[in-house]
């Protein structure tokens, strides 16, 4: 039997190259050989303030981005989290198997709650819903960026606790990291590339060329004199080059760097050219999908019905093991 893969992405705006190189490249690669389920996790997105007027368009846009990046609905299930209500049902059960102390140690909650005026219980509970997303499908492989490792460790603890108390049902969850598990912000390479830090801290996969060039041109390189070790900003540019350029160009520039003859203008030009060369076909596919959002809606509808089938079947067994639900009262 093929191993099952699950991952979720939030519809919180445009996809950036951190999301792409950190997780989405693996979504695409894994669908070749695994049974893959990918979700646009709108219930996660509402843990912070959101505007309901714009959320449906953001969901549709993220779905189109994923399809443009290479998700193939014939091979993988692509659906919207809130279209499968079993996610929140299992999250409640898992809430009862998660300690308050464990949740309080989650670093993402600490970081994100500092950015919010109103800190919702949903934000605190975010990793429990994430564990439910994955385990509802009994998935064992989860392609994610490094920032999600702590959450996956919690998902493993929840699964073990459930299995220990109610019977072996859930598999061990394992993260799958890419070559770029933590891409950094071009404007502040000490921080992870991220949307919530602001526009200059990320490069969008579908962003216009001129603005991508500008962000790379103004990316922070060395602060102060060059030290023994490559600075985080230069290392980040080299990483983007490695991911998007041919290996000859990468080796040539790396050698020049080691020899101390590399001008950062040259490095930045090479990064911009290679990255844009790689993104152009994705952007072209995305423009085509924009003209036919009806077909994107159909992909999501079909995905939800396939996901629901698996979710309903697993939920039935989970309720039975827990002693809840109408079936538990049948003689």
Q: Is 232 in the site for ligand AQP (CB under 6 A)?
A: no
Rule CB under 6 A: say whether 182 interacts with ligand AQP. Answer: yes
CA atoms within 13 A of residue 102's CA, in its CB half-sphere:
19
Report if residue 113 touches ligand AQP, rule: CB under 6 A.
Answer: no
Four-residue CA torsion sign, 60, 66, 71, 72: positive
Is residue 195 part of the annotated active site? The answer reads yes
Contact call for residue 18 and ligand AQP (CB under 6 A): yes
Residue 215 among the catalytic residues: no
* Cross-strand pairs, 304: none
* Among positions 19, 31, 140, 236, the unique one binding ligand AQP when judged by CB under 6 A: 19
Considering only residues 186 to 205 of the shown chain, the ones binding ligand AQP according to CB under 6 A are 192-196
Write out the two tokens for 102.
């464990």
Should residue 147 be labelled a site residue for ligand AQP when binding is judged by CB under 6 A?
A: yes
Applying CB under 6 A, the span of 177-185, 217-225, 253-261, 318-326 interacting with ligand AQP comes to 177-185
User: How many alpha carbons lie under 13 Å from residue 291 in its C-beta half-sphere?
Assistant: 5
112 is catalytic: yes
Q: Which is nearer to ligand AQP, 16 or 268 (CB)?
A: 16
Minimum CB separation from ligand AQP for residue 184, in Å?
7
Report if residue 308 touches ligand AQP, rule: CB under 6 A: no
The upper half-sphere exposure of residue 103, i.e. CA atoms within 13 Å in the direction of its Cβ, equals: 20
- Least Å from the CB of residue 235 to ligand AQP: 13
Which one among 4, 5, 6, 9 touches ligand AQP, defined by CB under 6 A? 9
Is residue 26 at the binding interface for ligand AQP, with CB under 6 A as the rule? no
How many binding residues for ligand AQP (CB under 6 A)? 21
Phi-psi region of 276 (alpha: psi -120 to 50; beta: other; left: phi over 0): alpha
> Would you count residue 183 as binding ligand AQP (CB under 6 A)?
yes
User: Tokens 């989860």 appear where?
Assistant: 142
Active site residues: 112, 192, 195
Residues that bind ligand AQP (CB under 6 A): 9-10, 12, 16, 18-19, 22-23, 144-145, 147-148, 180-183, 192-196
């Amino acid at each position: 039997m093929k191993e099952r893969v699950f991952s979720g992405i939030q519809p919180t705006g445009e996809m950036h190259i951190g999301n792409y190189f950190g997780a989405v490249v693996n979504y695409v690669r894994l669908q070749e050989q695994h049974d893959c389920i990918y979700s646009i996790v709108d219930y996660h997105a509402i843990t912070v303030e959101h505007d309901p007027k714009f959320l449906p368009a953001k969901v549709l846009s993220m779905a189109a981005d994923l399809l443009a990046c290479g998700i193939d609905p014939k091979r993988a299930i692509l659906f919207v989290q809130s279209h499968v209500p079993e996610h929140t049902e299992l999250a409640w059960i898992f809430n009862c198997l998660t300690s308050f102390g464990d949740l309080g140690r989650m670093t993402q909650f600490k970081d994100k709650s500092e950015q919010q005026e109103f800190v919702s219980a949903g934000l605190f509970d975010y990793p429990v819903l994430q564990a439910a997303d994955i385990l509802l499908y009994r998935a064992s492989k989860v392609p994610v960026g490094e920032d999600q490792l702590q959450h996956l460790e919690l998902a493993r603890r929840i699964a073990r606790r459930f299995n220990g108390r109610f019977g072996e049902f859930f598999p061990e969850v394992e993260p799958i990291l890419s070559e770029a598990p933590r891409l950094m912000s071009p404007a502040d390479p000490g921080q992870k590339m991220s949307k919530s830090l602001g526009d200059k801290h990320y490069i969008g996969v579908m962003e216009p060329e001129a603005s991508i060039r500008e962000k790379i041109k103004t990316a922070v390189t060395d602060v102060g004199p060059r030290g023994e070790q490559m600075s985080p900003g230069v290392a980040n540019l080299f990483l983007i080059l490695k991911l998007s350029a041919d290996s000859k160009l990468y080796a040539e520039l790396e050698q020049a760097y080691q020899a101390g003859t590399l001008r950062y203008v040259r490095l930045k030009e090479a990064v911009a050219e290679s990255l844009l060369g790689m993104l152009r076909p994705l952007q072209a596919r995305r423009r085509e999908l924009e003209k036919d959002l009806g077909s994107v809606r159909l992909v999501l509808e079909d995905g939800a019905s396939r996901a629901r089938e698996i979710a309903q079947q697993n939920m039935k067994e989970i309720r039975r093991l827990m002693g809840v639900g109408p079936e538990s009262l049948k003689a």
